[in-house]
Structures are given as C-alpha cells and as structure tokens.
Structure 1
Amino acid sequence: MIRVLLADDQALVRGALAAMLGLERDIEVVADVGTGEEVLPAARRTRPDVALLDVQMPGTDGLTVAAALRDALPTCRVVMCTTFGRPGYYTRAMAAGAAGFVVKDAPPEHLADAIRRVHSGLRVVDPVLAAQSRTSGPNPLTEREREVLQAASEGATVADIAAALHLSGGTVRNHLSAAISKTNATTRAEAVHIAERNGWL
C-alpha cells in the first residue's frame, strides 16, 4: 500500500480527496490535516510514502512545508496539488524538492496515477505549466521584496509593513519601488497582481 498524507485547508476538498483515494486498492490515506503547521507532526507520526500538499494554506504555506518535509523525512515524496496552476508556484515547488505538481481540476484518475508514479521514483509535471515556467523566467523578487509585496497585497500600509517586518518606512518604500520595477508594473496594486498571477508571492 502507498501511504498518503493529505494537507488542504478546505475541509470539503480534503474529505473529497480522501474519499476518492480511499477507493484505490493500493492507496491508503494515513493522515489528513488542514494547516501547514500540522504536516510535519502528522508525517512523523504516520510515516507516509507520499504527501499531497496544497500550495496555499493558512500559516505555513505548502511550498515551505515541502522543503521542511524533504529535510525531515527524505523518503516521503511530495506532490503539490493546487487550484492555482501558476508558473512561479511550479518553479518554487520544484526548488523545494517536490516530485509532482498537479492542479485540482485534473481528472481523479490523474491524481491517483500521479501518486503512483511519484512513489515509484518518477516526477509528475504538467507540461504546459513547465513550459510556462521557462517562458516567464525565475522569480525576480528578493525574499524581502516578496514579503513586503505580500503584506501590501493584504492591504497593509507602509507604516504597518514597516512595523511588522521591523524596517523603516523608507526601506519599505524602496522594496516596494524595486518590486514595482522588477514586475514592470506602474503601481503597487499592479505589481501585486502580476506577482500573484505568476505565483511569485
């Protein structure tokens, strides 16, 4: 049996995935969790062969969890499963050590097949998404620019961002200006939109 851990913040989606995979004769869902913080403890407790992680979860996102899981349990293979098939997410997932990347609107049999293939040592990637990631190029934002732009996307003011990240207002403005320039945007809102569309945030 292929032991699978599911992590998705939407309980209905998580339940549907667990039920669907439970119909497969060679796949057993050994844990399902709703936040990134719950993944490592559940994985250490249940020792899954494959972890199916959502990209966007509250707290620690799935991409960060994928890297932590790779370090903590190197035998556990990771498949990112997301609603958002964005080139930047794909690139970051591969850099974090994920062995697969699938979108939630794929046919159910595709997900089970992806789990089997990843478990057997193969990589599973969407060819269109892989091509888009090569076309869009790497994320041009530094980690700090990404943090500042992410905070701006949530409606935070320069003063709010400065306080949260322990920076001066001038430094925050510089990071925002750099992010606007690097995304070829003209406003902060446009930079956020471009970065989100590409999966850079």
Structure 2
Amino acid sequence: MRILIADDHHLVRETIGAFIEAKMDVRVEKADNLSEACDIVERDGAFDLVLLDYDMPGMDGLNGLKRMISLNADRPVALLSGAASRRIAENALALGAAGFIPKTMNARSMVLAVRFMVEGEVFAPFDFLFGEAEETPWELTGREKDVLQGICNGWSNKEIARELAVHETTVKMHVRALTKKMNAKNRTHAAMLARENGFA
C-alpha cells in the first residue's frame, strides 16, 4: 500500500507519516507542495491515498484538490487542514474528496480515518461538520451521538470505547439505546439511517 502526504510543514508531514507507518503496512511518500506531489503521482502512478494540506503552496483553494483527484486515477484524495472552515470541508467532499482530516485529530483517530478512506469510504469528523448543537431526528444524548459517529466510521465497539475513553460495556449499552431510539434493526441499519438523514 502506498500513501502520499503533501504538506509544506516538515514536522506535520513527518509526524503524520510516522503515525501511519507505525500502525499500517504502508509505504509513505512525502511532498512539500502541490507541484511536487503532482510530479510524484505522474512519475510513480496512482497512490492508494493522497493527503493534501489545504493551505500549502500551489493549492489555489480547492483547484489543487480537483487537479490531484484527476491525476490519482479515481483513487482516494483527502484534505488535511488546521484552519479550514466547515464550508470548505463540505465543498471538498462535494467535489469528490475522500475525506477531510483536521490536523488537531489525535494520532489513533487519524490512522483509523486513513484506513477508512483507503477502503473506499468517505471520512469527515461528525462534530466538525455538524457541531455539538446539531439536532438529529432522534432524541440522542451527546454520548449516543458520539457512539453513532463511531458506528458510521465503521469502528468496532472496542475501537469506539478506546476513542471515547470508556468501557466497552458502556459502548454496548449506548448502542442498544440509540438503535432503540432510532428504531434501527442493528448497528448497520443505524449507520444507514444516520447517513440518510445527513448526520454522518
């Protein structure tokens, strides 16, 4: 598996690359601007995932994203950002980005997001896109919303428990509660309902 990380901040791209290489069987290539990233893809062929810093030289807003999506032969391309707005993230996803990853995301969550996108899914942090005050058609508690997002991310109960720093039995309890409130047959059905209603 091959992943390309393009970011003009040396420490950021090295740190993210190290996180991913430590947890996945993957070879990480790095670039410090869009032009270099495009040259690498043209030379070496499509990558399993390309992560682009939204603010690095050459990006020209979302035009750089569109250029890389075209170059990477329908393989996933996602945005990294430390300051992009919710609107930018939404526009990036609408253009075909495989995901949007805030640089503030912790290492474990970032690796899970990378795995999710490599498998062909779209990733965006629930709270970033919808905010804490976002309502759902169901009367879910804040913790139930957190668990629901984990389910939508494809995480197991154990992974959700680690992410939320709670016991796995607590997660199971929340899963039972939220599926009942959502009138969902199971966790997969709950994730489907969440996506249909624009909350994941």
TM-score (norm 1): 0.59
Shift of 1:62: 6.5
Q: Tell me the percent identity.
A: 27
2:44 matched to 1:41?
Answer: no
> Can you list the C-alpha shifts for 1:109-141, whole angstroms capped at 9, x where unaligned?
111111111111111111123226xx9xxxxxx
Q: Would you say the 8 A contact 1:99–1:124 is kept in 2?
A: yes
SS in 1 for 2:108: helix
Between 1 and 2, higher relative CO (CA 8 Å, sep ≥ 6) is seen in 1
Q: Would you say the 8 A contact 2:53–2:79 is kept in 1?
A: yes
Shift of 1:68: 1.0
Paired positions, count:
131
> Can you list the C-alpha shifts for 1:71-109, whole angstroms capped at 9, x where unaligned?
222332012111114112202211331111111111101
Q: Which amino acid aligns with 2:107?
A: P
**In 2, Cα distance between the equivalents of 1:110 and 1:38?**
27
Q: Would you say the 8 A contact 1:50–1:77 is kept in 2?
A: yes
SS in 1 for 2:63: helix
Q: Which amino acid aligns with 2:118?
A: H
What is the 5 A alignment of 1:40-59? 40-46=38-44, 47-59=46-58
What is the 5 A alignment of 1:144-163? none
> Which 4+ residue blocks in structure 1 deviate beyond 4 angstroms?
none
1:17 aligns to what?
Answer: 16
> Can you list the C-alpha shifts for 1:131-173, whole angstroms capped at 9, x where unaligned?
26xx9xxxxxxxxxxxxxxxxxxxxxxxxxxxxxxxxxxxxxx
What is the 5 A alignment of 1:47-86? 47-61=46-60, 63-86=62-85
Structure 2: runs of 5 or more not aligned: 135-200
Q: Would you say the 8 A contact 1:36–1:62 is kept in 2?
A: no
**In 2, Cα distance between the equivalents of 1:68 and 1:95?**
15
**In 1, Cα distance between the equivalents of 2:19 and 2:99?**
19
Q: Would you say the 8 A contact 1:69–1:76 is kept in 2?
A: no
**In 2, Cα distance between the equivalents of 1:42 and 1:33?**
8
**In 2, Cα distance between the equivalents of 1:129 and 1:75?**
26
1:99 aligns to what?
Answer: 98
Shift of 1:58: 1.7
**In 1, Cα distance between the equivalents of 2:61 and 2:102?**
14
Range that drifts further, 61-70 or 46-55: 61-70
**In 1, Cα distance between the equivalents of 2:18 and 2:130?**
32
Structure 1: runs of 5 or more not aligned: 136-201
**In 2, Cα distance between the equivalents of 1:51 and 1:107?**
19
**In 1, Cα distance between the equivalents of 2:97 and 2:41?**
15
